[in-house]
Amino acid sequence: MSLATVHSRALDGLAAAPVTVEVHLANGLPSFTVVGLADTEVKEARERVRAALHNSGLSFPANKRITVNLAPADLPKEGGRFDLPMALGLLAANGQIDAARLATFECAGELSLAGELRPVRGALAMALALRQSGGAQELLLPADSASEAALVEGLVVRQARHLLDVVAALQPDGEALPRATALARQAQAGLPDLADIKGQAAPKRALEVAAAGGHSLLMSGPPGTGKSMLAQRLPGLLPPLGDDDALASAAVLSLAGQFDLARWGQRPFRAPHHSASSVALVGGGCALF
């Protein structure tokens, strides 16, 4: 067949909107065109995909006019997450893999020039969006991202380390890729203890009330009075994160590329410098209402 469709997702803030990667092969002047509001990193996938296919010993349709459409066209796409969907779409349109088996997956991943799969940001957001949509598809990700997405219960997450592993699994009689397993949550230990602070009865009482009631707390005073020391003890007073809160926190860190599986389920703590401006703390910009 000359037309193939691959399912993927694009990051849109904390959401992961569905994206359909359509690959069409036609006769005519050889070219490789990517359309659908693709950023520079996405358009550069043409060279990564071409080199990855050649170096993996797979056939690249160099004599065809290749058109890749990322739908919906009005949704911005960025990053290298569409390398793997584009490569698989090319192979399906060229008859090298089973398009019917490919349709059972949502996939994302960046390709090296040798065909290895590199991790992508927002794997956890993709998994949460797929579960929320109620789709029956499995999630196919690089191994380093699959373990992160496997934290979402109720999904089948498959992992691969090389493009050839994916191609072998997508043959009509191919064996399924290994399933990613979630890392067990570890209890947060070694937190600073409020008992270490001598005196400061009023601020300590305020911390206890804020932790018990889920309130916000603002501490003000000259440098050296113990504000930062007190704030560092607040996470030790709070209960463990629930599953939904832990996933929401991890999703934000995943989008920023700062998620650490070893700290999965632990409360994040930020200690900005005392000289940080209000804009640095809460963000700036112009809002129109």
Pairing of strands 65-71, 15-26: antiparallel
Q: In 3D, which of 37, 52, 35, 42 has the Cα closest to residue 87?
A: 52
Apex CA 224: angle with CA 220 and CA 206, to 5°?
40
CA 105/CA 126 separation, integer angstroms: 12
Q: No. of H helices and E strands in the chain? A: 12, 9
Domain ranges across the chain: 3-169, 189-239
pLDDT tens, residue by residue, 118-144: 999 888 889 989 998 988 899 999 998
Query: Residue 126: which H helix or E strand, with range?
Result: helix 123-133
- Strands of 157-160's sheet in order across: 31-35, 65-71, 15-26, 3-12, 105-107, 138-142, 157-160
Specify burial of residue 227 (Cβ count, 10 A radius: 0-12, 13-18, 19+).
Answer: middle
**pLDDT given for residue 71 in this prediction:** 96
Residue whose pair of structure tokens reads 């632990």 in the numeric block = 266
- Tokens standing for residue 9: 């997702």
Mean local confidence (pLDDT), 82-98: 96
CA 117/CA 56 separation, integer angstroms: 12
CATH topology of domain 3-169: Ribosomal Protein S5; domain 2 (3.30.230)
Q: Cβ contacts of residue 195 below 8 Å, gap of 6+?
A: none
- Tokens standing for residue 28: 């005519």
**pLDDT given for residue 268 in this prediction:** 81
Least confident of 49-63, 74-88, 101-115, 270-284: 270-284
- The model's pTM is 0.81
pLDDT tens, residue by residue, 207-230: 999 999 989 988 888 888 888 889
Q: In 3D, which of 143, 138, 150, 74 has the Cα closest to residue 110?
A: 143
pLDDT interval class at 289 (50, 70, 90): very low
Query: Residue 55: which H helix or E strand, with range?
Result: helix 45-55
Asked whether 136 and 7 are in contact (CB, 8 A), the reply is no
